[in-house]
Amino acid sequence: MDNRDNISVRSFMQQNEIVNYDQTLYDAGIEWIENFWHHNKKAVDIMSQSKIFWNWWSMQWERRTEPCIYKNGHELNETNLSRLEKLQVLHDYNKTHSIGTNLIYPTDSMLDLMKEIEKELKPAK
């Protein structure tokens, strides 16, 4: 069985103490929502509480993070990386995610969710 199927990027990052993966994922997700909705508090509140959004966002974040691990010749089931190996993965992680969240585009399911939120934002007639 391929290790990619049963060990997550999140687990790799946490087991090797490379970064606080959950916190950076959350912070970047909130940043993405705020940028998309131009800091509309109600829209940000609605979307930031959406399980659909967080499942989608986690998948997008993992897709961007995974190459940082494989690029350095590691597999997801590896633990006990050396200090230098951790720094190499962290460097690539920071480089990948420093580009910002603006380059992550919504999928069809996200666009559907956004349309629903937009309806909620319109004043009642």
Verdict on whether the full-model pTM lies above 0.95? no
The per-residue pLDDT for 2 is 40
Per-residue model confidence as pLDDT tens digits over 48-73: 999 999 999 999 999 999 999 998 88
Question: Does residue 8 have a pLDDT over 70?
Answer: yes
In the structure encoding, which two tokens stand for residue 97, read together?
A: 């995610």
Residue 41: Cβ within 10 Å count: 9
Higher-confidence position of 20 and 5 = 20
Nearby residues of 96 by Cβ (< 8 Å), 6 or more positions away: 64, 65, 67, 68
Tell me the percentage of the chain whose pLDDT exceeds 90.
62
116: confidence class by pLDDT, cuts 50, 70, 90: very high
Range 99-108 contact pairs with CB under 8 angstroms and sequence separation of 24 or more = 101/28, 101/29, 101/31, 101/32, 101/35, 102/35, 104/32, 104/60, 104/64, 106/36, 107/56
Question: Does residue 6 have a pLDDT over 80?
Answer: no
7: confidence class by pLDDT, cuts 50, 70, 90: low
The per-residue pLDDT for 113 is 93
Q: Using only the alpha carbons of the chain, give its radius of gyration.
A: 17
Question: Does residue 101 have a pLDDT over 90?
Answer: no
Domain residue limits, the chain? 3-121
